[in-house]
Structure 1
Amino acid sequence: MILSVQNYGQNKSIAKDKIKVLENTAQESIFVHYNSSLFMVGEYMYYKIYCLNSETNKLSHISKIAYLELVDKEGERVFKQKIRLDNGFGQGDFFLPVDTRSGNYKLVAYTKWMSNWGQEIFFSDDVIILNPYSNNQRDFLESEVSKEDLQSKSDLRPSNSALSELNKSPLQLFISKKNYGKRDEVIMEFEGINSKKIPDGEYSISVRKYSPVFPNQKKTTVDHLESKEISPPTFDNNITLPELRGELVTGRVVAKSTDIPLENLKIAFSVPGEDYQLKIARTDVLGQFHANITKPYRSEEILIQLIDDNVDGLTIELDDFASPFNSDKVKFESFRLNPEMNDLILKRSIQNQIENAYFKVKPDTITSNVNELNFYGTKGITYLLDDYTRFPTIKETVLEILDNVWLTENKNDKYVFNLRTLNGEFNNSEFTSLLIVDGLFVKDQDYFINNFSSNSIEQINIVKEYYRMGSQIFDGIIDIKTFDQNYAALASKNDMTALKLNRQTEIKNYFRQSYGNESSKDLERIPDLRQQLLWLPNFEIDDTQRITFFTSDLKGDFEISIEGFTHTGKPVSILDTITVE
């Protein structure tokens, strides 16, 4: 069995009746709230994604995965991230490395389902990246630019009338004063516009230093709703399927001979690790298949195997979802450097270097996923092998420790696991047992039984009843966890192939500086040169309906940007400023 990755996209041939259903599925749109339109290398881009139903403007429950890219004029990607959507929203960040080229970029976001309408409905906004450590600034120096044009591109903050229009949102912000000192506490209070109760919804907040010399225009939720268009999809018999349940992996089985049937072949997908995922898909008459990876994962690969015994002459070809965004079809901003920016760039570069030097004492933390039960729930009986006398081989361990489990040789003279039923009777089932080791579906049980030391095993879970996974029935489950949880790296690769995964972004709790309490005493002696005073991708307010943050040692103007949508689909967009003296 051979596996390859082909650039077929993920267009599927689908029956006409199913196309009708998909044609009636709502169009989506994406809005991205991000923290700045100009970055220097060595800084973080923070963002929150809002995926909306284009017909209702409410958060969409269609797609479970979104994609975000930073693209230059030549179509090169600085990064491409995969974001898990929970009830229509997701979050992430990206550190801009020092080898990033200075230039004008596009920040692009979309779902696979949106690609059926073309890139015209994708979220797209201009981002400028400055690399002061590089001699290559040609993108910013290629041509002369008029004073008027420079002004239009350097001071792009909304006018007072625009600010007034934005502040008609259902949410209101109140700040007690406009001017603060260094390391002062800032208190933001919130109310609904029609009542003091804050409207239910999803919101995000960014507080960041800005200078009128640099571009400072980002799309708002109001802009997004005013510019969106609803149109019919552009598919006929081919369609990019929506990721309704999770990340979608698709492909096809190809046979060397036309005599080999391709329908009803079973394929196992293993995402190994502590919180592993195991899926089994079945091919259609054309040999096509798909599997949904429904939970977050930290593994960087997925292992794929044909379950059927006779797989000679078969090849698995996985669909490679190439980016549907073409940079040649969009106009990029034309930012230009001028002498007025030199001192600001130098100061900001030094401040970033100092701030990054203290990153370890101001760390972000990754939100741990709540440990979910395995797919078989609480049905298993767990054997912690350290509670028993240890035996070096799998055969001895099964014989001496595991109740109602034994090994037999099948018709190919290969060892396999067998289990007794719940009532204790021998089960002479036609089905094989399901062997899982560190989250990996093990087709070749004989190789594991004869070549793996049980001294490396931490625990064994036994489920003594039939279990259906997809279209496959198993005669019980043997789920083994090793101490190192790396059996996927040790297993025989004769019957499997690894596909590298672009991991989903991890949800983080971002560091929030505070002063005046016991826990902050150690930080009071450390320089505080934060450009970003606050980034809250998930707006959570206690009963006081207030959020607080502290200024840094930097003087100047700081922009408070709040974006989001109420649960009824109304946009929230608030822009305000404070000054640190």
Structure 2
Amino acid sequence: MNKKILHILILFFAIGSVAFMQAQISNRVKSQRFDTSEIPNEQVFTHLNTSLFFVGEYLYYNLYVINSKTENLSAISKVAYLELINENKESVFKHKIPLASGTGQGDFFIPTTIPSGNYKVVSYTMNMLSKGADNYFQQDITIINPYRGNQDAITKKNDSVLNNVQNPSVKTESDDIIDNRSSLLSFSITTDKKSYSKRSPVTLHFKSETGKFPQGDYSLSVRKVDTVKHASLKHATDYTNPVSENLKSQNKFIVPELRGEILTGKISANNKSQKIGKQKIALSIPGDNFIFEISNVDSKGNFYFNIDRPYTNNTVALQVLNNFDNTFEIKVDNEVSISFDALDFNHFYITPEMKNLIVERSVYNQVENAYYSVKPDTVKTIPPHTSIYTKRSKTYNLDEYTRFPTMGETMVEIVNDAWIDWQNGKGTFAIREKENSLRSNAPLLLLVDGFFVQDHQKLIDYSANKVESIAIMQDKYYYGSQTFQGVMVVETIEGDFYENPLKDYVKQVEIVPIQQKKQYFKQVYSNTDNSEASKRVPDYRRQLLWLPELELNESSRNITCYTSDISGIYEFIVEGFTEKGQPIFLKETFTVK
């Protein structure tokens, strides 16, 4: 046997053995309660852009997860969660945020379906919940929806209403604390002026007295100061003390997500004589960055998947291997439910004096949303996953060949080293083994738009005119204890193969979509651009800038944003943590006239 091929096989077997062992360990984690106290606890701090929102505005957030033992940003959890909870203790929305070195980001556009009321933003990791039922970050916010007639949730029922209108220029005690912290850090921020005209540049100057900025993770918000009192935002500097160890213990076992997002479930046999323990179950998440995994089922039918890569589709397909007669049923475990009974809500009330403010702000929001197409945010592209079968495959882009209407003709006339094997009137795809490789009766791995296809006839009956490309890898592919004789990756033109009716043995479940990073819109006005078209575009931004990833790499750094057509007092707020775990909270204000 060729020594090179032998070495490759040994490597694949070694990788497969490790994957198999990890799957077995993970299944034991699920089926056996064990002490998670050895895993350090975590804290979450969530930087929000404000605590008072109107329908039609964005709630922006940046999460910082702190290792309570080291007091540095945590590398333990790989996923965090953020929810909006109403006063009925119900979840309005839930976000799943991937963590990179203890940080993650996201946003939520507040629709007209959400009524006026006082709410809580809560955020946590599964590791936190495994330590205690109430172990999560919470922040009071208020949402005003002027388009609904019922405003009882934020309307006082008697005459004891306090006037919410305030003078935002009044200096508070917290401002003095902030100034002292800035000097202690040898790290300050100033603006080039204190007063600006509309649509003019504002430069924020970061300066370090030590010659360089402390390395860390920071976020920046530039926003108009509200002229009504509302719940105070929590700051990074509120998280200087370790978490109390006297947490309310959980009455259920929760698996910390230490390597990625966890999906668990159980299979059951319709026929009692059918063995469960030796079955394998496959997971596929279709899409451009598709995910394919195989898990071994334990003797009780439990399975476990660890999703450790980003994806763009929230539809997951699960299949028991070779379960063509639907012998097994698949049940996915429900998401971890959290009791919010202990939440105590802040009470914000509107007053008659706020009528003009509410009308004006609502009109401005409608105008801004009408012009969103010229001020869009952009989603950061997820880097393509370069798996072994894309690296070693030969790809046939069908537009480069004379097209044939059927997959059968396409395989005969265009694709080399692969064919359709017909038995009893039913076809399966097959791939020719490489020269000098070991013979195998193993099936090939067929992925169409990232969807794992066991019934090859479904693709054979599919119109070849809808197929964009076919990639063939002749190498054996080992996934745990499962062997595939080659891989065939098919991409359709529309990318919607998995949306067609599927077989009964395919279990599709919807999971909470993962938040994707965005490049948020940054308004720029050029001195040379005085066109009438530019002048006609209104600018009623209250949020002048949101930077969830603020990079400070030099001894001094300038950041510029542009004012809008709204006058008033604005504030720069910087939140975050240094690489040594020191919390940062800095603030500077300026006026727009």
Task: Assess, with a 3 A threshold, how the Cα gap between structure 1 residues 436 and 165 changes in structure 2: closer, same or farther.
Answer: same
Match of 2:421 among 385, 408, 423: 408
Give the C-alpha shift of residue 304 in structure 1.
1.1
How far does residue 302 in structure 1 lie from its aligned partner after superposition?
A: 1.0
Q: C-alpha deviations, 1:47-96, integer Å up to 9, x for none?
A: 11111212122221222221111111112333211112122111111111
Q: Which amino acid aligns with 2:462?
A: F
- Residue 317 of structure 1 deviates from its aligned partner by 0.9
Q: For structure 2, which runs of at least 5 residues remain unmatched after alignment? A: 1-26
Code of the residue aligned with 2:574 in structure 1: it is I
> 1:468 pairs with 478, 481, 485, which one?
478
Matching residue of 2:208: 192
Measured after TM superposition, the shift of residue 498 of structure 1 is: 1.3
1:523 pairs with one of 506, 526, 534: 534
Map 1:379-458; keep pairs closer than 5 Å.
Answer: 379-409=392-422, 414-423=426-435, 428-449=439-460, 451-458=461-468
Query: What stretches of structure 1 of length at least 5 have no aligned partner?
Result: 1-9
Compared CA separation, residues 153 and 112, structure 1 to 2 (3 A)? farther
Q: Distance in 2 between matches of 1:25 and 1:377?
A: 37
Distance of 2:187 and 2:292 partners within structure 1: 44
The verdict on how the C-alpha distance between 1:225 and 1:286 changes in structure 2, with shifts beyond 3 A counting, is farther
Name the CA distance, whole Å, in 1 between partners of 2:381 and 2:448: 23
Which region of structure 1 is more displaced relative to structure 2, 291-300 or 154-163?
154-163
CA pair 312-131 structure 1, distance change in 2 beyond 3 A: closer
Change in Cα spacing, 1:447 to 1:135, as seen in structure 2 (3 Å) is closer
Aligned counterparts of 2:172 and 2:445: Cα–Cα separation in 1: 61
Q: Which amino acid aligns with 1:77?
A: S
CA contact (8 A) 1:404 1:424 kept: no
Asked if the contact 1:73/1:328 (under 8 Å) is kept, the reply is: no
Aligned-residue offset at 1:428: 4.2
- The residue identity in structure 1 corresponding to 2:487 is I
Matches of 2:341 and 2:300, distance apart in 1: 35
Does the CA-based 8 Å contact 1:116-1:240 persist in structure 2?
yes
Pick which of 35-44 and 369-378 moved more: 369-378
Instruction: Return the letter of the residue paired with 1:580.
Output: V
Helix, strand or coil for the counterpart of 2:83? strand
The partner residue of 1:229 within 221, 224, 244 is 244
SS of match in other structure, 1:569 = coil
Whole-angstrom distance in 1 between the partners of 2:79 and 2:104: 9
1:567 is aligned with what amino acid?
A: E
Q: Contact (CA 8 Å) 2:520, 2:546: kept in 1 or not?
A: yes
Q: Is the 8 A contact 2:215 2:552 kept in 1?
A: no
SS in 1 for 2:430: strand
| CA apart distance, 1:313 | 4.1
Q: Does residue 1:286 correspond to 2:296, yes or no? A: no
Q: Return the match for 2:565 from 549, 553, 560.
A: 553
Tell me which amino acid in the other structure corresponds to 1:176. D
> Aligned to 1:206, which of 213, 221, 232?
221
- Please report how far the alpha carbon of residue 119 of structure 1 lies from its aligned counterpart in structure 2 after TM superposition: 4.0
157 and 313 in structure 1: CA distance in 2 versus 1, 3 angstrom threshold: farther
Structure 1 residues 153 and 190: CA distance shift in structure 2, 3 A: closer
Q: TM-score, normalised by structure 1?
A: 0.90
User: Of 88, 100, 123, which aligns to 1:74?
Assistant: 88
* Post-superposition offset of 1:310: 6.6
Instruction: Give, in whole Å, the separation in 2 of the partners of 1:316 and 1:507.
Output: 33
Partners in 2 of 1:520 and 1:157 — Cα distance?
Answer: 41
Match of 2:40 among 18, 23, 26: 26
126 and 405 in structure 1: CA distance in 2 versus 1, 3 angstrom threshold: same
One-letter amino acid matched to 1:533: L
Count of aligned residue pairs for this structure pair: 563
Cα distance in 2 for residues equivalent to 1:61 and 1:445:
42
Q: Which of these residues, 559, 570, 576, is aligned with residue 564 of structure 1?
A: 576
Secondary structure at the aligned position of 2:134 is classed as helix
Distance 1:11 1:405, change over 3 A: closer
Pair 1:42 & 2:52 matched = no
Q: Distance in 1 between matches of 2:28 and 2:155?
A: 42
Percent same amino acid at aligned positions?
36
**Which moves more between the two structures, 436-445 or 400-409?**
400-409
- Deviations along 1:454-503, one digit per CA (max 9) or x if unpaired, are 23222111111111123311111111112122111235423312111321
In 2 relative to 1, CA 456–527 (structure 1 residues): closer, same or farther, beyond 3 Å? closer
Shift of residue 561, structure 1, vs aligned partner: 1.2
Q: Secondary structure at the match of 1:46?
A: strand
In the alignment, what sits opposite 1:3? none
> 2-side partners of 1:145 and 1:225: how far apart?
41
